[in-house]
Structure 1
Amino acid sequence: MTNFLVSSFSLSAAPRNSVSRIQQELTIAQKQVATGRFADVGEALGVTVGRTISMRAEMSNIEKLKGANTSIAQRFDTMQAVLETAAGSGENLMSSIISNGSTDEGIATNRRLALANIGQLVGVLNSSYGSRYLFGGGKTDTVPMKSDIVNDYATSQASGTVDTAWQTFVTANAGGDPSLVTADQMKSFLDNEFAALFVTGNTDPALNTWDLHWSNASSSQTQARIGESDLITTSASANDDGFRNMMKSYAMLANLSGESLSDEARQVLTSRSVETLSTGLSQVTDLRSEIGIGQERISRANDGLKAQTFILKVAIGKEEEVDSYEAAIRVTNLTNNLEASYALTARISRLSILNYL
């Protein structure tokens, strides 16, 4: 006959070990049900986990691009809004010039509107979004228009150069009397001395009078990537032809229309201001169209990024996701096993040899 020992401690320890193991497995299974992924992706995928890491990094880059695109789109929205305001003011002035004619009251009204439009256009060109100036060209951290124009155009260096050029011309060609300036002389002044005050883009910086007296902006542009290989221009410049022509028209009226001119000379001034303003407004419309094209490109780029994100999510899911039905069944089975282990452990813990003496 063989003798062996029976220990109630050994009997109770076995179920407790089983409970601990089942609890660990249940925790993992519950996490998989909650997340839909392997609890430990690295352990589950092994050496192939590098693929999902790479895809997740690509998704992260796409999300950054989408965030940057949102900022650019809002920047474009702001540009469109302020340009619409500037264009509206220019069109109102043009209507006033045409309807008011050359009467003293009409001239005074047009001059007042021109001065107001200078201030408004300066404000538009100094617009910013997110601490970056919209019309600074490549210099997005610099206020585009000269500070003295911002403070008061009438006392600014820009206005002073127009007045000086006019006085010099009148002295040389009409004995200092503006009323003696002929129509041909007015045309000559506007085409030469006056036009020379709005020059930019010359290889000789000393000749870039627009840069010297009006603008701090750069004529270069900033660009940003909106897709994997898609670049877009994200800024405009206060040096653009449209803005310079609008300002040129306003300065004609603000600085010269108050002079005692002959009817012929005034007619030249009025018609030239309308012509120049019309050209400027057309050029600003072209700029707004370019911005609109940029907005459409961003929209298309975002659609492409969304499609890429979807494809990557599907690919990652195939690698990392668990079968939700199987995971739920496993949780149920483990829960049942755990409850059975608890019951068995409780019964064994109540066993005692004293019950059989």
Structure 2
Amino acid sequence: MAQTYMIRRQNAEFKTTSTRLASELSTGLTSDVSKRFSGDFSMISSVETSLTALQAYKSASNEAGQFATVMQTTLGLVQDQTTAAVSALLLTSNSASHTQIQNTSNDVMQKFEVVVSSLNTQVGGRSLFAGAATDGPAIASPTAIIASLKTAIAGQTTAVGVEAVVNTWFDALGGGYETIGYLGSTTSIAPFKIGIGQEADVSITAADSEIRDTLKGLALAALVSEGALAGDISEQALLLRNAGDWLLTVGDRQTGMRASLGSVEAQIETASTQTASEISALEIVRTELLSIDPYDTASELEAVQTQLETLYALTARISRLSLVDFLR
């Protein structure tokens, strides 16, 4: 019984050692970290901690990069729609017919709807332009905004009167845009931590003046298609031209906003490259700290396998022994 127990114990030890050595040979890394560092894990622990932090920064940079890229694309679409609307509105002359005015206004209404829809874009379930309120849309539907504006301008008979009301609706503190139009938070989304001491601020919201004024100009022209100043073609034409002039001034501010966002995108890209480089360097250090000598390990594995085969042969021979053979 004692001999059987000893053989079983040796068999288990050889198998465990063989498995360990085979694993080390395939990965090139030691599986006995404690033995490698004699119980002092400070160096490898420091490397692992740094790698964990860098991986977190890498993840944040990827998220920030995706957020900023989609935001830039959306703002590009908004600017394209605005530019197209300006071209159509500024061509509206005093001699424009009712049909021409309605067609132009209908076209701007469609652009207004596209802009509102794009500003409600989400990335990974998070709204881009709603500030800290990322779980919902940034802006109310075009129908809701236009309906509120129609009610507000009721009774106005001149382009100047309609403009004054629309300006108040969009700009006044606690006015229509802040209570009905903008559904996001007044608190900006927190900056993304993309590196040690580095943050990416992508806090553009639909409450910002550039976007608010874009929506104002488009809505001003779109109201004509909804019956604003009905029956007075000259005032409708004037309203469309004024809306075009307004949107023309907004264009430069849109470009500035996109340029600022572009700088943030460049910052994120630089931080991502730096983080990837640091991760690569630390992974090399970790590999060097944990690597094994493949020749020595292969030799040791072969020796253990030979011992295991010898043990199997010895076990088989012992199992054939009998008292009769011994007495002979």
Same fold (TM over 0.5): yes
Evaluate the alpha carbon distance shift between residue 351 and residue 199 of structure 1 in structure 2; reply closer, same or farther with a 3 A threshold.
Answer: same
Note the alpha carbon deviations across 1:21-72, whole angstroms, 9 max, x for none.
4333323222222332222212432332233234223322322332233233
Query: 1:262 Cα deviation (Å)?
Result: 7.5
Counterpart pick for 2:33 among 38, 41, 45 = 41
How many pairs does the alignment contain? 321
Query: 1:237 Cα deviation (Å)?
Result: 0.8
Q: Does 1:343 align with 2:310?
A: no
Instruction: Give the equivalent residue in structure 2 for 1:212.
Output: 179
Counterpart pick for 2:304 among 334, 337, 350 = 334
Counterpart pick for 1:294 among 236, 240, 264 = 264
Could you tell me how far apart the structure 1 residues matched to 2:12 and 2:121 are? 66
Instruction: Give the equivalent residue in structure 2 for 1:139.
Output: 133
Counterpart pick for 1:318 among 288, 307, 322 = 288
Query: 1:266 Cα deviation (Å)?
Result: 6.0
Counterpart pick for 1:244 among 197, 201, 212 = 212
Could you tell me how far apart the structure 1 residues matched to 2:119 and 2:30 are? 55
Could you tell me how far apart the structure 2 residues matched to 1:99 and 1:116 are? 18
Could you tell me how far apart the structure 1 residues matched to 2:187 and 2:203 are? 9
Note the alpha carbon deviations across 1:184-203, whole angstroms, 9 max, x for none.
xx3x874x554333216xxx
User: What are the equivalent positions in structure 2 for 1:300-311 lying under 5 Å apart?
Assistant: 300-311=270-281
TM-score by length of structure 2 reads: 0.82
User: What are the equivalent positions in structure 2 for 1:152-191 lying under 5 Å apart?
Assistant: 152-154=144-146, 156-161=147-152, 163-164=153-154, 167=156, 170=157, 178=158, 186=160, 190=163
Q: Does 1:199 align with 2:199?
A: no
Instruction: Give the equivalent residue in structure 1 for 2:254.
Output: 284
Q: Does 1:109 align with 2:77?
A: no
Query: 1:355 Cα deviation (Å)?
Result: 6.4
Q: Does 1:221 align with 2:188?
A: yes
Instruction: Give the equivalent residue in structure 1 for 2:64.
Output: 72
One-letter amino acid matched to 1:339: E
Note the alpha carbon deviations across 1:157-208, whole angstroms, 9 max, x for none.
23322x14x62xx5xxxxxxx4xx8xxxx3x874x554333216xxxx44x5
Query: 1:349 Cα deviation (Å)?
Result: 5.0
- Unaligned runs of 5+ residues in structure 2 are none
One-letter amino acid matched to 1:41: V
Evaluate the alpha carbon distance shift between residue 94 and residue 13 of structure 1 in structure 2; reply closer, same or farther with a 3 A threshold.
Answer: closer
3-state SS of paired residue (2:200): strand
Query: 1:13 Cα deviation (Å)?
Result: 8.1
8 Å contact kept, 1:136–1:235: no
- Unaligned runs of 5+ residues in structure 1 are 1-8, 171-177
Could you tell me how far apart the structure 2 residues matched to 1:11 and 1:209 are? 92
Specify the structure having the higher radius of gyration (Cα): 1
8 Å contact kept, 1:158–1:213: no
* Same amino acid, percent of matched pairs: 19
8 Å contact kept, 2:14–2:304: yes
Query: 1:225 Cα deviation (Å)?
Result: 0.6
Could you tell me how far apart the structure 2 residues matched to 1:50 and 1:22 are? 31
8 Å contact kept, 1:241–1:280: no
TM-score by length of structure 1 reads: 0.76
